[in-house]
Structure 1
Amino acid sequence: MNLLSEIKKDGKQFLRERRTLLLMVIAPLLVLLIMSAIFSGNSTQVNTVAIGVCDLDQSNASQFFISGMENSSQVRAYSAGKGCEALLKKEVTEGRLAAGIVLPEGFEAGITLGATQNISMYLDNSRFQVSPSIEAFVKAAVQDTDQRIGAQFIGSVWERLGTADAKLAQMLVDINNTRTRAQDMKKSLQKTADSLNSLNLSGVRNEIYAANSTVLGAVSSLDIAQSNLTKIESDFAGYDATLNQTESDLLGINSSLANISGYISGAKAGANCSDLAFFAYCLSIDSLNGSVASSQQSIELRIEKVRAARQSLAAANGTIQDFKANIATARGGASDAEVRINNMLGFVSQLELNRQEALNTIADVDASLGQITQKTYEFENIIADSRNQIREITSRSPESIISPMLVTSNHLFGNRPFFDFMLPSLLPLILMFIALFLASTSLVREKNSGTLTRVYVSQVNSFEYAAVKVISYSVVLLPGALLLALVASVLYGAFPPLDAGAWFLVMQALILLTLTFVALGVLIAVHSESESTAFLASLVVGLPMLFLGGLLFPFEFMPPLVALCGMASPLTQAVLSMQAALVYHSPQIASSIVLLLYASVLTLLVGLSVKKSS
């Protein structure tokens, strides 16, 4: 079988069917145009989705939350009332709203008190394409509001901590002053203790003991003096009695001398002294009378002396009485002094006890002041640590406390629209359906026209025929693949038009893809009796590969076994190969080998089917 002749024949057949040819060009371009219009954006925000809000609180906090949502979505506010929540739920249930949010009463008050507020969200999860985005959007809005409210709260806490830090700084100054005063008090207490220790109470006690001994000695001397005075007084009484007796005797003698003088005078009167005979007698009598008179005078003088002596004794006795009275007074004073000395001894003893207690108290106070001083250093360290912790805490922004981790997205492929990343999947998908439909229906038409029967009669090798038909249809479809690549390059900027390396990778993937799905289409045609059967069979084969190709449903959402089947499909391998060429700009050797293997196996199956049919 001649390959070039077969290619010319198939090419002429396609060219004769101008409508088919036109559709083969327009359909892919139309699909690309529609998909590029749908996925021209690069954001997942739900800007056009209306979200109903039932604000039962009507507070600043609730309005704060709603205003944050209005920046990124259409918010439809419902009037607050008893039926607000029920109406909102009904709107979502009947499909008029994609989602509804109910802010409870006491929303702001609960936040102020630190109570978690439960925001009810009614979600129309039948809209499975957008409901996850809406739910994520609402949660992000709640998180953003939480962060803003939390930042305000933490900011107020930071201010309070700043005030506390200022107070702690003042406390440090007060602690330093307290420590200085405590040290001054320790010095004063030490001076007081030294003064108390310098008191010689033992010497005072000894002096008091000596004074007591002196007083006791003086009392003893006074007793002796009083005894002596009493004895002198007794002697004076004897002396007075003796003097009294002497005076009495002298008075008797004086009286006798007076009588004698009278007798002498009478004797003289009886003599005639003029008589010379009695002249000597009279002289003797006169002389005797003179002697008696002299004796009387002497006795009277002695009586006066005795009386003077008695007066002196009386005066001395009075003096002795005064001495005895003074001695008694002195003894009373000595007794009082002795009592006072004893009291002084008691006072000194009590003073000594008080001094010891005072010294002990001073020692305790000094130890306490030492502990206070030590505690001031510890307290100072605690305050310093607290201030450092406060400064460390307040040095951080409230936002970093609420969200210590921030994700910075680095889009390695730039801020490109979603369609740029869908294009590597759309090109194989479009080419798959074109190859399946055209290869299967064209070969069925040949079967119905008897071409395949002539092949059977001419004994053409079935495997050769299969290979020629697959290559022929692939070559005929190659301009369409080239057109898709050119449109992707020129209109959508998938790769530079003059980049030979990119062209090689893209065309390699498209050629292998075309070979694979042309072989699959030929295999479908061999087993189909009509074009309708071939068309439906192509859909039966193509649609599962579409669903399992990762374009509509990511592999990460599929069960492991289903994902494995999807990864093994030829469409997925073609998509991987095209992604490697258009997105990653690197060859996907494994996918190319798998596609080549698919094309070979399917071609062999076509040959086996043709051979079996013949």
Structure 2
Amino acid sequence: MRERRTLLLLVVAPLLVLFILSLVFSGNSLQAKAAEIGVCDLDGSNSSQFFIESIGNRSPARLYPKGDGCASSLEEDVRGGRIIAGIVVPAGFGEGIEAGRTQNISLLLDNSRFQVSPSVEAFVKAAVQETDARIGATFINSVWERLGSADNRLEATLPEINATRTRVQIMKESLEETSESLGALNISYVRSEIDAANLTVAGAMRSLSDAQANLTKIESDFAGYDEALRQTESDLSSINDSLSGITGYLANATAGVNCSDPAMAAYCASIISLNASVESPQVTVASRLEKVRAARRDLASANQTIQDFKASITSAMENAGEAYARLGNMLGFVDALERDRRDALDTIAEVDSSLDEITEKTFELEEIIADARSQIRQITSRTPESIISPMLVKSENLFGEKSFFEFMLPSLLPLLLMFICLFLASTSLVSERNGGTLARVSVSQVNPLEYAAVKVASYTVVLLPEALLLAFVASVFYGAFPLLDFGTWFVVVQALAMLTLAFVALGVLIAVYSESESTAFLASLVFGLPLLFLSGLLFPFEFMPQLVAAFATLSPLTQAVLSMQSAIVYHSPQVTGSLALLIYAAVFTLLAGFSLRRK
């Protein structure tokens, strides 16, 4: 009855384990996608909302109320194990992004869940990268738009450059005309004319000075003439007064005489005749005196005329002096004009040279604009995504879209067979020893090495149907390999036979040192669990220290897993693994035989 239950468990237990594990690992996506992540958004901007949406697309997100206790509540839940991770979006996140400043997002991670936390961290970083790409693409699109606007402005600048060249040519022609006009100015002729005018003014001033001197001499002569006439007038006045006195005396001489008296008639006649002769000179003297006075008046008038003429000459000399000074100023102006003309011609030459340079620069500017527009078109022809992510990884699953369980199955079959072989071989042999079988063998003088080898072979034969059953279930129900693929069947059966042989030998060795079935069972666990941990099924070899990984690779379970993976996944025999398992089987069998001999 007990053997029936053992046989039933031997068949059902591995199948039940396969079924349960197939349900657990039936998916082909990360388990972390179902992990809830807390989010504390202290910003509330569009950028933070987009980032939260990106997180929500990968895993359920629990939003915490915005406030002072948001971050602390989130950290408390992570530390309490209520959520696996929390994200704190700082205040000013969106503003900082728009300003071009790198923003730091806090990821509170429960790294005690070491199986899931790396995946959570990975997809949070992926969400950050996606958000970065979106923000970067938005920024690059805005830059593209500005570059397009700049390209349009550069295109609109080309006609203006042509117009500038036209205006420069017109300016050059105007400058050339101005230069010719300035060159045609005869400053020497103007200077010679001014010099001649200076000489003329100087001669006029000398003539006026001579005339003024002559007038002064005439004025002096007129003064002498006036003095002589004044003396003559005085003399004539005296004579006239004398004659007037004589005339009055003669009149008085006849006043008391009766001229009608003949005796006095002669007297009166002589007096009258004398008076008449005196009157004639008196009239002449009076006439001369009047002429002298008229002459003096004419002389005074002439003298006044001379004074006026002298004043006019003085004014003319002053005006001539001013004209001379003005001519000097004009000569200085002409000299300054000549200097300015030369400077203007030099300036015109420099401006003309500058205009030539401007014309050359306009052509260079056109080339620069054409090159800039070409570069702008070359830059904007690329998509923002190609700039942000110039390389994209396209994963190609060489073994198709399979579930996790399908890839775990080649590792699970050796694992299940290991525990079945260890438990069955160790407990069965302990049961036989407790039943006295080993004692009878010892009495019958059977070779211990032969006995151990026979037990290993017999248990292997007993367990091979179990191994074949597991391979059949894996092929039919889980599609590990085609049922009619006899080549794969051969490699699988070979690997299963070798690993069954090795672990049965290890189970026999455990049974030799076990006093009871429970001890054998626990000892099987003591050997089986470390082999499980070192097999790479739970912990990849890449995570192990180098020395531990090298030791783990040499373990029998690892060699069995590698052999089964080569058979089912890679469809190629693992000769090295089979030889290693065969060596392990021989070593364990020899150790079991020697141990039986000592006992």
1:79 and 2:65 correspond = yes
SS at match of 2:34: coil
Per-residue deviation at 1:208?
A: 8.7
**Aligned equivalents of 2:132, 2:567: Cα separation in 1:** 44
Which residue type is aligned with residue 86 of structure 1?
A: S
Separation in 1, partners of 2:71, 2:592: 64
User: For 2:26, what is the secondary structure of its paired residue?
Assistant: coil
Contact 2:411 2:565 in 1 (8 A): yes
CA deviations over 1:133-159 (Å, ceiling 9, x no partner): 222222222222222223222222222
**Is the 1:440–1:534 contact (alpha carbons within 8 Å) kept by the matching residues of 2?**
yes
Deviation at 1:472, TM superposition (A): 1.6
2:40 to 43, 54, 73: 54
Tell me what 1:6 maps to.
Answer: none
1:70 and 2:56 aligned: yes
**Which residue is equivalent to 1:597?**
583
Match of 2:95 among 82, 88, 109: 109
Please say if 1:29 is aligned against 2:15: yes
Aligned partner of 2:127 in structure 1 is 141
Change in 2 beyond 3 A, CA 1:148/1:334: closer
Question: Are residues 1:367 and 2:346 paired?
Answer: no
1:68 Cα deviation from its structure 2 partner:
2.2
Query: Could you say which residue in structure 2 is the equivalent of 1:482?
Result: 468
Residue in structure 1 matched with residue 561 of structure 2 by the alignment: 575
Structure 1 residues 465-504: aligned runs within 5 Å: 465-504=451-490
Aligned match of 1:464: 450
Ranked by relative contact order (alpha carbons within 8 Å, sequence separation 6 or more), the top structure is 1
> What is the CA–CA distance in structure 2 between the aligned matches of 1:101 and 1:207, rounded to whole Å?
99
Distance, in Å, in 2 between the alignment partners of 1:468 and 1:539 is 24
Structure 1 position 506 matched with structure 2 position 470: no
Deviation at 1:454, TM superposition (A): 2.6
d(CA) in 1 for partners of 2:141, 2:31: 30
Contact 1:55 1:80 survives alignment (8 Å): yes
Q: 1:343 to 1:44 in 2, by over 3 A?
A: same
Q: Report the CA distance between 1:546 and its aligned residue.
A: 0.2
Q: Which residue of 1 aligns with 2:388?
A: 402
The answer (yes or no) to whether the contact 1:45–1:137 under 8 Å persists in 2 is no
Q: Output the CA distance in 1 between the equivalents of 2:552 and 2:107.
A: 36
1:444 corresponds in structure 2 to 430
The aligned amino acid for 1:163 is S
Q: Residue in 2 aligned with 1:10?
A: none
Measured after TM superposition, the shift of residue 548 of structure 1 is: 0.7
| Whole-angstrom CA distance in 2 between matches of 1:542 and 1:335 | 137
Q: Which digits, 9 at most, give the CA deviation of each residue in 1:3-39, with x for residues without a partner?
A: xxxxxxxxxxxx9811111111111111111111111
Partner of 1:186 in structure 2?
172
Structure 2 equivalent of residue 357 of structure 1: 343
Distance (whole Å) between structure 2 residues aligned to residue 597 and residue 538 of structure 1: 20
Q: What is the aligned partner in structure 2 of residue 307 from structure 1?
A: none
Find the residue that maps to 2:87 and give its secondary structure. strand
Residues 72 and 574 (structure 1), Cα distance of their counterparts in 2 relative to 1, 3 Å cut: same
Whole-Å separation in 1 of the counterparts to 2:112 and 2:321: 122
Q: Out of 147, 161, 164, which is 2:147 matched to?
A: 161
Task: Determine if the alignment matches structure 1 residue 122 to structure 2 residue 121.
Answer: no
Task: Please give the per-residue CA displacement for 1:571-598, whole angstroms capped at 9, x wherever unaligned.
Answer: 0011111111111122222222211221
* Cα drift, residue 59 of structure 1: 3.6
| Aligned mates of 2:80, 2:197 — CA distance in 1 | 121
Q: Secondary structure at the match of 1:551?
A: coil
Pair 84,210 (structure 1): closer, same or farther in 2 beyond 3 Å: closer
Query: Displacement, 1:447?
Result: 1.6
Shift of 1:426: 0.4
**Which residue does 2:551 correspond to in 1?**
565
Secondary structure of 1:47's counterpart equals helix
CA deviations over 1:523-546 (Å, ceiling 9, x no partner): 111222221111111111110000
- Could you say if the C-alpha distance between residues 159 and 533 of structure 1 is closer, same or farther in structure 2, counting changes exceeding 3 Å? same
- Number of equivalenced pairs: 501
Of residues 523, 547, 572 in structure 2, which corresponds to 1:586? Answer: 572
How many Å separate the matches in 1 of 2:555 and 2:346?
Answer: 99
Residue identity in the other structure for 2:466: G
- Match for residue 554 of structure 1? 540
Is the contact made by 2:456 and 2:589 (CA closer than 8 Å) also made in structure 1?
Answer: yes
- The within-5 A match list for 1:136-285 is 136-197=122-183
CA distance in 1, matches of 2:67, 2:330: 97
**Corresponding position: 1:608 with 2:594:** yes
Shift of the 212–55 alpha-carbon distance from structure 1 to 2, 3 Å rule, reads closer
1:387 aligns with 2:373: yes
The residue identity in structure 2 corresponding to 1:435 is C
> What is residue 315 of structure 1 aligned with on the other side?
none
SS in 1 for 2:27: coil
Please give the alpha-carbon distance, in whole angstroms, between the structure 2 residues aligned to 1:336 and 1:564. Answer: 121
Query: Corresponding residue for 1:539?
Result: 525
Q: Distance in 2 between matches of 1:136 and 1:100?
A: 14
455-464 vs 558-567, which moves further: 455-464
1:70-105 CA-partner distances (Å, limit 9, x unpaired): 222222223223333333333333222222333333
TM-superposed deviation, 1:347: 6.6
- Please give the secondary structure, in 2, of the residue aligned with 1:406: coil
State the secondary structure of the residue aligned to 2:481. coil
Is residue 137 of structure 2 the alignment partner of residue 131 of structure 1?
A: no
Q: Secondary structure at the match of 2:112?
A: coil
8 Å CA contact 1:466–1:603 kept in 2: the answer is yes
* Distance verdict in 2 for CA 1:496–1:199, change over 3 Å: same
- Residues 368-418 of structure 1: per-residue CA shift (max 9 Å, x gap): 112222333333333333333333332222223333332221211122111
Q: Distance in 2 between matches of 1:396 and 1:19?
A: 72
Q: Distance in 2 between matches of 1:440 and 1:105?
A: 65
**Paired position in structure 2 for 1:415:** 401
Q: Distance in 2 between matches of 1:34 and 1:178?
A: 85
Distance across 1 between alignment mates of 2:330 and 2:191: 9
Contact 2:31 2:116 in 1 (8 A): no
**Distance change >3 Å, CA 360–CA 576, structure 1 → 2:** same
Q: CA RMSD in A?
A: 3.6
SS at match of 1:17: helix
State percent identity of aligned pairs.
67
CA distance in 2, matches of 1:18, 1:564: 42
Q: CA deviation at 1:446?
A: 1.8
Larger CA deviation: 193-202 vs 174-183: 193-202
Between 487-496 and 335-344, report the one with greater CA deviation.
335-344
Q: Which amino acid aligns with 1:540?
A: V
Deviation at 1:340, TM superposition (A): 9.8
Inter-partner Cα distance in structure 1 for 2:97 and 2:73: 26
User: In the TM superposition, what is the alpha-carbon distance from 1:207 to its structure 2 partner?
Assistant: 8.9
User: 1:45·1:72 contact (CA, 8 Å) conserved in 2?
Assistant: no
Between the aligned partners of 2:415 and 2:2, the Cα distance in structure 1 is: 26
Report the Cα offset of residue 45 of structure 1: 5.4
Shift of 1:344: 8.1
User: In the aligned structure 2, how far is the partner of 1:119 from the partner of 1:208?
Assistant: 91
> In structure 2, how many angstroms separate the alpha carbons of the residues matched to 1:81 and 1:350?
83
Question: Per-residue displacement from partner, 1:540-578 (whole Å, max 9, x unpaired)?
Answer: 111000011000111111111211111110100111111
The answer for the alignment partner of 2:268 in structure 1 is: none
Is there any run of 5+ residues in structure 1 with no aligned partner, and where? Answer: 1-14, 227-327
1:422-455 CA distance string (max 9 Å, x none): 1111011001111111111111122222222232
Q: 1:584 to 1:361 in 2, by over 3 A?
A: same
